[in-house]
Chain A
Amino acid sequence: MVIDKIKKMSEVNKEIEKNQEASDMLIGKWIKCENCKEILYKEEVHKNLSVCPNCGKHFRISSRRRIAQLVDEGTFEEINADMGLKDPLQFEGYEKKLETLVEKTQIKEAVKTGIGKLNGQEAVLAVMDGNFMMGSMGQIVGEKITLAIEEAILRKLPIILVCVSGGARMQEGIISLMQMAKTTGALMKLNEQGLLSICVLTDPTTGGVTASFASLGDIIIAEPNALIGFAGPRVIEQTVKQKLPEGFQRAEFLLEHGFIDKIVQRKDMKKVLSKLIKFHNQKGSE
């Protein structure tokens, strides 16, 4: 009797395992929209530029996908692709963490930079990547962004800075902080040359990135509902000891308060950016 029971149990377990496998497969192909809770077919979402077809929520996307969405096929030429791995403070466990991340994400740092065409309009792009330490800005990120701005100055091209960042990279301490001044200085130089800078703020853009280049573009665009701010919502709530109202620090809130020029949906982003570049072309190119 006991043996029978055990046999039965193991069959049940096998059944559960089978179901688990099946649901894992399902999870692989389906995702749940964190906003409207609708279960969505992944491929459908990707085809829709990673925007929920049901409620319009803009999901976070990798720099690779972002570039594919913005740049004409076959025109993107990456620069400084191999820069990565700096540990200026010799911070415990940091180098190992970076190595693991490089392996896992298959990207070297939290920003990809290069030159490409948007509907035929040439520009330098710096596209941040939230999959790599939440897009935080350390020395390599700051350096790559600065080099991209300098490339724009050299080629007399506009720069497009697509931002997603949790802010400064803690493990790089004061060196990370200095990247704010460095990137700001580079943008100042670009500005003196009469060249165009456009910032595209995506969810989330906070901390040291908001308090430097992300706030300094000639034109600042945001994706719908993107969280944009200096201090994170949790820190503010702890400071003021109250819950933040719905929509606080969202793109629509910033538009209302006069800190961004425009909210643009992902499906229109390439069109709007290329139009803006075209407007400024007479001055930028000789």
Chain B
Amino acid sequence: MKKQMTAWQRVTMARDAKRPKALDYIKNIFDDFIELHGDRCYGDDKSFVCGIAYLEKMPVTIIAEQKGKTTKENMQRNFGMPNPEGYRKAVRLMKQAEKFNRPVITFIDTPGAYPGMGAEERGQGEAIARSMFEMSKLKVPIIAVVIGEGSSGGALAICVADKILMLENAIYSILSPEGFASILYKDSSKCQEVADKMKLTSYDLQNFGIIDELIKEPKVGIENDFESVTAKIKTILVKQIQDIQKLTTSEMLEKRYEKYRNM
């Protein structure tokens, strides 16, 4: 039945404050999470939560974009809009994961990279490009999970992966529908109509072959039966990592390269 929902309805759901955020997934799926901070260069971006944890008994590195649920939380998290130091923290910890041979799991939930003056001064474009560059050659398995809003380069920056999972009511797009409408029609209020044309739902992304697994959400609403969803994700993560680990490193990297090469 949810398949008949409009794209805009899904945009609204993906952005819903009540919708679980990255830290909720981390808490439910992993054990002994230890958060690690800072990019060793400029600062600690709180729109990114990164660290190490166990998936079942396997140590993994987690890289997650974190939105808040309340205005206060969102102020602290910059509404999930990373600055360059966020991406640089992510890259630092991905390279650390490579050193210790830990798989990397990323969670994507952002309205986009922050378009501020400081972000430009500190090289937002370079930070995003560098993150994709490093991920495309990282010698450990990478799995990306799109949990909410996956908007523009700010999302793609941590979505170069061996496998991409996406929640049914998450979105993944070139830009926010508001930004898209404002660029193409000079009118951001047209966002509801353009959402459909943008092909940004999980079903669209599955049709394009961009995502590998579409994770269905409970009819009662994801926040009301969250455990069933995280249990499903946990099972998929374990299975996917085991499958990838059967490949040699060069096979894994070649497959990862081909995935994007064919787009």
Which A residues have a C-beta under 8 Å from some C-beta of B? 88-89, 91-92, 139, 142, 146, 168, 170-182, 184-189, 192, 207-208, 210-216, 229-231, 235-236, 239-240, 244, 248-249, 257-259
- Is B120 a contact partner of A236 (Cβ separation < 8 A)? yes
B125 interfacial contact with A, CB 8 Å: yes
Q: Which of B27-35, B69-77, B167-175, B238-246 contacts A (4 or more CB under 8 A)?
A: B167-175
Known: A240-B117, A257-B123. A173 touches B133 (CB 8 A): no
- Please report the C-alpha to C-alpha distance between residue A170 and residue B152 in the assembled complex, in whole angstroms: 11
The interface residues of chain A lying within 8 Å CB-to-CB of B198 are 89, 173-174
* Contact between chains at B174 and A173 (CB < 8 Å): yes
Query: Hey, which chain B residues are within 8 Å of A213, CB to CB?
Result: 129
Contact A236 B116 (CB under 8 A): yes
Residue of B116, B132, B133, B197 touching A239 (CB-CB under 8 A): B116
Contacts of A177 in B (CB 8 A): 152-153, 156, 173-174
A170 vs B194: C-alpha distance when bound (angstroms): 11
CB pair B208–A230 under 8 Å, yes or no, is: no
Between A and B, 28 residue pairs with Cβ closer than 8 Å are A91-B197, A139-B263, A168-B174, A173-B173, A174-B210, A177-B174, A178-B156, A178-B263, A181-B160, A181-B260, A182-B263, A184-B133, A208-B152, A211-B125, A211-B153, A212-B129, A214-B129, A215-B125, A216-B130, A229-B124, A230-B113, A231-B113, A231-B115, A231-B119, A231-B124, A240-B117, A257-B122, A258-B123
Closest partner residue, chain B, to A231 (CB atom): B115
Residue among B128, B132, B136, B180 making CB contact with A230, cutoff 8 Å:
B128
- Whether the pair A188, B263 counts as a contact (CB closer than 8 A) is no
* Count of chain B residues with a beta carbon within 8 Å of a chain A beta carbon: 46
Rounded to whole Å, the gap between the CB of B191 and the closest CB of chain A is: 13
CA of A84 to CA of B169, assembled, Å: 34
In the complex, how many angstroms separate the beta carbon of A234 from the nearest chain B beta carbon?
10
Q: How far is the CB of A262 from chain B (nearest CB, A)?
A: 16
Docked-complex contact B156 and A185, CB < 8 angstroms: no
Interface presence of B137 (CB below 8 A): yes
Query: How far is it, in angstroms, between the C-alpha of A186 and the C-alpha of B117 when the chains are bound?
Result: 30
When the two chains form their complex, are residues B115 and A248 in contact, meaning their CB atoms are under 8 A apart? no
Interface residues of B (CB under 8 A from A): 113-117, 119-126, 128-130, 132-133, 136-137, 152-153, 156-157, 159-160, 172-175, 179-180, 183-184, 197-200, 204-205, 208, 210, 257, 260-261, 263
Query: Known contacts A174-B200, A211-B128: does B136 contact A188 (CB below 8 Å)?
Result: yes
Residue of A173, A179, A192 with most chain B CB atoms under a 10 A cut-off: A173
Q: Determine which of A92, A174, A184, A239 lies in contact with B136 in the assembled complex, contact meaning CB atoms within 8 Å.
A: A184
Known A180-B156, A188-B133, A215-B130: A174·B117 in contact at CB below 8 Å: no
Contact in complex: A244, B117 (CB < 8 Å) = yes
Decide: B260 and A185 in contact? CB cutoff 8 A. yes
Instruction: Name the CB-closest residue of B to A249.
Output: B120
Residue of B nearest to A210 (CB): B125
**Complex Cα spacing A230 to B123, Å:** 8
Q: Which residue of A lies closest to B134 (CB)?
A: A188
**Known contacts A175-B208, A244-B117, A230 near B173 by CB under 8 Å:** no
